[in-house]
Amino acid sequence: MAPRSPEAATWRIRRVGYGHPDALRLIDEVQAEYVVRYGGPDETPLDPLMFEPPAGSFFVGYAEGEPVATGAWRRSGVSAFGTSSTVEIKRMYVAPQARGRGLARLMLAHLESDAGEHDAEAVVLETGLRQPEAMALYETSGYESVAAFGYYKDEPLSRCYAKLLPRRLPTTT
């Protein structure tokens, strides 16, 4: 088991609805960041119900009680590594004042674990060339570049990744 960072001691992740006030505030922040980086918001069509179990889940990360991060997964029709039992990670974001503490990596690990508990075999995601820190996070977390998919599949700045999740052993009694 990896050592816990000092941040992890004050870090809590809570599943919330897509319309939760903390989620909405952080979603607005990430959309504003996309405008700066790409000239417009992420226009991927999303239905809040995509993030309600068992179709998906939306999480807010709290550091010292303050909402500072989001991450979500939803069922995906994208095949990766020979399986179509995939989920797509969406809305990964850490607020500027909380960056550089490893919180994105903690959120990503949480999303992977939660998706695995909901029978996902692989995770897919899309990010962009103007988010080099996101690309570095995914690449150092075991994600591999895959063929483009989704709303931005034909955009030259889009990059897609996938990761096979560890097989879950059946529980025995």
Q: Which domain covers residue 10, as residue numbers?
A: 6-164
Query: What's the CATH number where 68 sits?
Result: 3.40.630.30
**Is position 118 within any domain?**
yes
Q: Does 78 score more than 80 pLDDT?
A: yes
DSSP label of 18: T
Q: Is residue 173 part of a domain?
A: no
In a domain, 16, yes or no: yes
pLDDT at 77: 85
Tens digit of each residue's pLDDT (9 = 90 or more) over 18-68: 999 999 999 999 999 999 999 999 999 999 999 999 999 999 999 999 999
133 domain residue, yes or no:
yes
How far apart are the two ends of the chain, measured CA to CA in Å? 25
Is 155 among the domain residues?
A: yes
- What total number of domains does the chain contain? 1
Angstrom distance (rounded) from CA 160 to CA 115: 18
